[in-house]
Amino acid sequence: MIYYFVNPVASVFVLKCPLKFLTGWDCPSCGTQRFLHALLNGQIYEAFSYNWFLIPVLPYISLIVLEWLLPYGNSLKAWLKAKVGNKWVAMGYLTSYFIWGVVRNIIGV
């Protein structure tokens, strides 16, 4: 994986955030590439310091991926689809994503 070898901060080959470029504000996802690089290099505390929002989101994303990988007809897949695909759960995560975008720019993390 490229993020293991390429440092997103110093590399010209890694995409930069357009919102940060245009406004100077951090978007809710800013720090995700640095997070991946640090996590793949075993720096777990440093990884989560780049984007705190990934702490509650990673379990949700993991369940989405697990549901996607399970074979059709599996009872666990049906249960996960009902829980992870629930519109209220998805809207809760989407709402918290935008709230995080505002909060991180106010408190400066």
Q: What is the pLDDT of residue 5?
A: 62
Amino acid sitting at position 79? W
Please indicate, yes or no, whether the overall pTM of this predicted structure exceeds 0.85: no
State the Cα–Cα distance between residues 21 and 89, nearest whole angstrom. Answer: 31
Q: In angstroms, what CA-CA distances link 82 with 18, 86, 93, 94?
A: 35, 6, 16, 18
Residue 59's identity, in one-letter code, is P
Spatial distance between the Cα atoms of 86 and 76, rounded to a whole number of angstroms = 15
Whole-number Å distance between alpha carbons of 31 and 8: 9
Distance of CA 1 to the CA centre of its chain: 17
Please state the domain extents for the chain.
1-51, 55-109
Q: Which regions in the chain score pLDDT beneath 50?
A: none
